[in-house]
Structure 1
Amino acid sequence: MTSPAPAAVETVFRMESPRIIATVARIVRDVGIAEEIAQDALVAALEQWPRTGVPERPGAWLTAAAKNRAVDLVRRRETYERKLAEVGRELTEELYDPEPSGPYDIDDDLLRLIFTACHPVLSAEARTALTLRLLGGLRTDEIARAFLVPESTVAQRIVRAKRSLAKAGVEFEVPYGEDRAARLGSVLEVIYLIFNEGYAATAGDDLLRPALCEDALRLARVLAGLMPKEGEVHGLAALLEIQASRAGARTGPDGQPVLLADQNRSRWDRRLILRGFEALGRAGEGGTYGPYALQAAIAACHAKAPTYEETDWRTIAALYGRLVVVAPSPVVELNRAVAVSMAEGPEAGLALVDALADEHALAGYHLLPSVRGDLLERLGRPAEACAEFERAASLTRNERERELLRERAERARTGREDLAGREGREAR
């Protein structure tokens, strides 16, 4: 039998680690210890599989190895009897089955892990890092590269997050009752943040980071499968599916951004669009749309339009009007201004944008002057548009966006190309 390469073993572990950690965390009630035990199981596989070959069910082998280590740890604790009572005496027989054949609540375990990693007691940065580590299977250095921060910073966030969960006595459980909605909102926010960082990188030399989009998509799909009756879970899945469908058309051959008006729609992934439409249908089964489902409905309007000129901007503006009511924010207002400008004209849009000038939340937000520059350009005021594009370029930390904004400022300055009516751009 051919011995597996260490890289192959690690690939299997990365695929299975969320379920292993979730299963072990149910036993030890501590995600930090659960991750360490999962790593011990990986070491055991790296030592044993080259001698014996890869087992027929490698995931079950790793899970069983981790379970055995977990129960050994519980046995060594002074509180073993109490812990054993918590997990149930019937669990002991399952723990020693190297190839468990019967069903067990792995889906419930995953759901518990998701809610624990995304607990509101943690900061958004900590929740994101811990989720990518425990559920995305990413190493600390991979997370650091994805967010362009030092590896030591990510490592500290993860360590502090585990300590904070332990100190706060966060239960490894799925919340119910009044606590469920708030906790679910935190989970959805983390997945959305991960996707957005991949879809429109905050900083760096690349506009897109596809791996982060893929991680977020996978998490959204898993969550939709685990919580099939939650409309907003399907709403988020729909939004990410439809947004991800455009990824291949959002950059040119050299990685430069391509605005929505100029994208080759034949490059949009129809399979992802269809998946998004299906998820959006499930999101609306309860009769009402939440914030993520409304954003998905807006994305669906773009996906349905054969060309940019045929986009149903009036419906999009109306959907943004509903979104402002259920999830008010200056960024949503800015997006609505763009839609209104396309439906009613740039003057109407500019009035809405100017009303946001003093919004503290938009201070330093590069898309505010970017949108204003676009509207001024469409109104035939190139000098003012140039100044806005230059200000936007000075505010963004993404090199690709900076290049595009400087290019637009130069075009406005020289008047070499009339872009009026072509490049209304949704703020994100």
Structure 2
Amino acid sequence: MSGAPTRPARHLFGRGSWPEVSRIADILRAETVGGILLLAAAVAALIWANSPWSAAYQQLGAFRVGPHALHLDLTLAQWAADGLLAVFFFVAGLELKREFVAGDLRDPRRAVMPIAAAAGGMAVPALIYTTVNATSAQGALSGWAVPTATDIAFALAVLGVISTHLPSALRTFLLTLAVVDDLLAIVIIAVFYTGSLAVLPLLAALVPLGLFAFLVQKRVRSWWLLLPLAALTWGLVHASGIHATVAGVLLGFMVPVVRRSEGPGPGLAEHFEHRWRPLSAGVAVPVFAFFAAGVSVAGAGGLGATLRDPVTIGIILGLVAGKCLGVLGTTWLVQRFTRASLGDEIGWWDVLGLSLLAGIGFTVSLLIGELAFGVGSEKDDHARIGILTGSLISALLATVVLRLRNRHYKRLAIAETRDADADGIPDVYQR
């Protein structure tokens, strides 16, 4: 008597399709280069801020430029945080929409894992920070969201430095988790870190945003039409009191992903990604890091007092322990209750290394710290030291774990290369 046909096992870290794997590889190469520039910018800022010429660094960040009549006479540090990071979130919006409309994650079974991991990787750090600062001085709890963000550029820079051959499924998962993480972070910024809301500028922003959406839906690519509308949308969102980076995400969501006509070539969203990702990874994020990472290590009361501050402790524990427990624990729960397997080549040591990498929080964490505590405040300085310390510890721990797996990854990469047909596509993606 034959039994009922068995359903094929569902893998949490499946290979995905070859076009998607190839596209992800191109993205990761650009982000890795950007991450190295980000790391260099952060180190340069730390050295300058702790040198005898630290006053010049502070004066540079405080230098104001822009039209006063339009309330855009901002400091260079504010232009970096409000303006350049809007480019970063525009690319994040394009990537997120691309993943869920035309990428492998349009399949809900594939999408649920990185979304759940990103949510768990944000909830646990927030809970740890809140617990540590429950009895702290007034204002400390406003930083609950600081350790919730993952910096994909910094994480990929670590991967590039340690030269791992991470399986494509894990690399794709890391990128998708970080993109979803960015989206959740920008929602947190818009909802919890908007001090005062001016309704009229916000409503006025819908006009250029609508015109931008209309033109891109018609597949218009003319920069002299789209760029002024995007800048006007950004300016009105900035004037409304909502952080201006929200405008970048909204503009990214307006761009269509699927080509209107059949034929070769990328869709409009992918075209914009290719154009703007180098600017985001190579200029926008490193410049922001240069202005945001420069903090005096001595600080008020010395480094010892800073490291004993509950704000610093909560951020470090949130990034190192919270991110790891959140991502790893959520992955285990999904595997446990859906009866899914990790994948043919993936083990729990791989997921542990990935979870530790998720604890590298930098760009968005620094931004949230500034919004939560105020730029230049003592708590903001402590938050920055906590972010730098927690990210460094997470990077070192991830390096140890992934170094142990490096030889295994390299063997897999060599096997896939040898398994390619004359068409250049490994056989495993054609089965």
Larger radius of gyration: 1
Q: TM-score, normalised by structure 2?
A: 0.21
Structure with the greater relative contact order (CA < 8 A, sep ≥ 6): 1 or 2?
Answer: 2
Q: TM-score, normalised by structure 1?
A: 0.22
